[in-house]
């Protein structure tokens, strides 16, 4: 609702509209200290802080292309990326992650893979950044917050589109940033926080007591043992509702140890433990966890991940459904947990690919590429005919991570209708250095479908191949 922010969006959208009267796309090149459009500098700065060129450059982005048809909503989301990018250290996300998360339909970008400055990598819009950029995944777009005003970009955006400058935090009245005395509401909230901590401590102590009683009743008091198990189940559910995931993870770990101690616990007692363990990680419980995360419950991502990876394979499909959570940080935890579980139960993870939502499928494909399991190559081949280009691109990226076993599957994407998918396929296929891969690449780049590609892009995958240089 900030009027300057809205005015900036409108002016930038108008600039795009004018540019698209004579061209289909506007491309800007990113250098370390300047931004070029048509070979001419439109922005220059040697400053370390609040430097728009450096903001993109340091994360590997070397050019941005805005396509005809870009909407005001996409323009607003792009400006939000600029704003959030300036807080990357605080948010634990870089600009590449934010670009990939937003997945703007009419914005393409080229990324240099880490350690390969000479090869731009040509990761197009929708391509997943490499492992150097952290753990990420994509579901549907995050809602755009109503910012108080982007942090950086006064001369940057003004030079590009002759728009008004952004408000910088330093221009705000200092009175607005001064600490204020506590009012009654503040005091009430502090009391609630203190009480919450006391309740959490009481919950932990109660669980510890019940576990002690459990050991005492094992083999001696069947009724007491069952009552303690049921009590622990109720306490575990309460802990999940409160976001006390570490407590539940530790409890499940204790159950796992008990299940392995056949001398201490008989079969009936171990069955009760299995039932409680399942109840603390079944579909209904995980759905409640997802609802709590969507509501913004405070929690430790590490504790949540430890809880999730302690579950068995029956949790995989319900967790796949949580790949649609809105917040990036929540999805990241789910992805990490599914990667751990998927390495042990890939078949269960593959069943999630039948989901009708493209973004869920895309995320599962992303996870398959991280399993380092050659069997995934056979699964990823079948997405060559998927109607969603972003799904096909993710399949190519994941196949590329699998190396030589994926050569056959990558070949299926050389005829893709999307040129960006074709280009990604040829690059990853060439990276396998397999003789059959070189042959297939040569056939495709001489065919009609690759005539429009730059020579350097088609030569790159095969230039170092012994077969082609002989």
- CA 48/CA 315 separation, integer angstroms: 46
Residues 453-466, mean pLDDT to the nearest whole number: 47
- Condensed to tens digits (0 to 9), the pLDDT of residues 100-152 reads 877 888 898 888 755 445 444 334 444 433 333 333 333 323 322 333 433 33
- Condensed to tens digits (0 to 9), the pLDDT of residues 188-223 reads 665 666 566 677 788 888 999 999 999 999 999 999
Residues 289-311, mean pLDDT to the nearest whole number: 95
Residue 314, token pair as written in the block:
């029956």
- Condensed to tens digits (0 to 9), the pLDDT of residues 146-167 reads 334 333 333 433 333 333 332 3
Phi, psi angle pair for 417, to nearest 5°: -70, -25
Q: Higher confidence at residue 173 or residue 302?
A: 302
- pLDDT level of residue 448 (50, 70, 90 thresholds): low
With 0-12 / 13-18 / 19 or more C-beta atoms within 10 angstroms meaning exposed / middle / buried, residue 48 is: exposed
- Condensed to tens digits (0 to 9), the pLDDT of residues 307-325 reads 999 999 999 999 999 999 9
Q: Higher confidence at residue 270 or residue 157?
A: 270
Residue 413, token pair as written in the block:
């994407």
The domain limits of the chain are: 3-177, 355-464
Query: In sequence order, which ranges of 162-281 are alpha helices (DSSP H)?
Result: 184-217, 222-242, 245-259, 267-279
Q: What is the CA radius of gyration of the chain?
A: 27
Q: Is the pLDDT of residue 171 over 60?
A: no
Share of the chain above pLDDT 70, in %: 71
Residue 282, token pair as written in the block:
């079944």
Report the pLDDT value the prediction gives residue 388, as an integer from 0 to 100. 95
**Both ends of the chain: CA-CA distance in Å?**
63
CATH architecture of 355-464: Alpha Horseshoe (1.25)
- Condensed to tens digits (0 to 9), the pLDDT of residues 9-29 reads 787 888 888 888 888 888 889
pTM listed for this prediction: 0.60
Q: Is the pLDDT of residue 251 over 80?
A: yes
């Amino acid at each position: 609702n900030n009027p300057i922010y809205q005015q900036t969006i409108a002016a930038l959208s108008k600039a795009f509209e004018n540019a698209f009267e004579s061209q289909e796309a506007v491309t800007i090149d990113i250098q370390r200290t300047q931004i070029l459009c048509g070979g001419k500098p439109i922005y220059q700065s040697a400053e370390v802080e609040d430097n728009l060129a450096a903001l993109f450059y340091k994360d590997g982005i070397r050019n941005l292309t805005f396509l005809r048809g870009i909407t005001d909503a996409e323009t607003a989301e792009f400006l939000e990326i600029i704003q959030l990018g300036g807080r990357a250290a605080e948010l634990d996300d870089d600009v590449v992650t934010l670009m990939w998360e937003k997945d703007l339909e009419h914005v393409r970008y080229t990324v240099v893979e880490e350690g390969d400055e000479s090869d731009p990598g040509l990761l197009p819009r929708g391509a997943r950044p490499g492992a150097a950029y952290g753990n990420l995944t994509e579901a549907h777009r995050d809602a755009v917050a109503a910012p108080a005003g982007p942090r950086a970009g006064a001369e940057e955006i003004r030079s590009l589109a002759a728009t008004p400058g952004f408000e910088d935090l330093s221009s705000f009245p200092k009175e607005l940033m001064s600490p204020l005395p506590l009012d009654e509401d503040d005091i009430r909230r502090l009391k609630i926080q203190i009480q919450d901590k006391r309740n959490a401590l009481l919950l932990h102590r109660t669980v510890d007591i019940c576990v002690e009683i459990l050991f005492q009743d094992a083999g001696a008091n069947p009724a007491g043992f069952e009552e303690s198990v049921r009590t622990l189940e109720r306490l575990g559910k309460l802990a999940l509702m409160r976001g006390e995931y570490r407590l539940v993870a530790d409890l499940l770990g204790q159950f796992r140890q008990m299940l392995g101690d056949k001398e201490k616990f008989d079969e009936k007692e171990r069955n009760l433990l299995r039932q409680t363990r399942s109840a603390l990680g079944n579909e209904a419980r995980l759905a409640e966890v997802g609802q709590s995360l969507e509501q913004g419950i405070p929690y430790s991502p590490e504790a949540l991940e430890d809880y999730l990876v302690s579950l068995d394979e029956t949790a995989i499909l319900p967790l796949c459904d949580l790949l649609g959570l809105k917040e990036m940080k929540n999805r990241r935890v789910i992805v990490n947990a599914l990667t751990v579980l998927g390495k042990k139960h890939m078949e269960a993870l593959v069943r999630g690919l039948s989901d009708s939502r493209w973004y869920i499928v895309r995320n599962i494909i992303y996870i398959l590429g991280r399993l380092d399991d050659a069997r995934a190559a056979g699964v990823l081949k079948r997405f060559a005919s998927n109607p969603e280009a972003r799904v096909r691109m993710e399949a190519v990226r994941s196949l590329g991570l699998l190396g030589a076993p994926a050569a056959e599957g990558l070949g299926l994407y050389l005829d893709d209708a999307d040129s960006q998918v074709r280009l990604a396929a040829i690059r990853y296929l060439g990276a396998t250095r397999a003789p059959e891969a070189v042959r297939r690449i040569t056939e495709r780049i001489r065919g009609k479908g690759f005539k429009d590609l730059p020579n350097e892009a088609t030569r790159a995958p095969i230039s170092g191949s012994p077969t082609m240089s002989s």
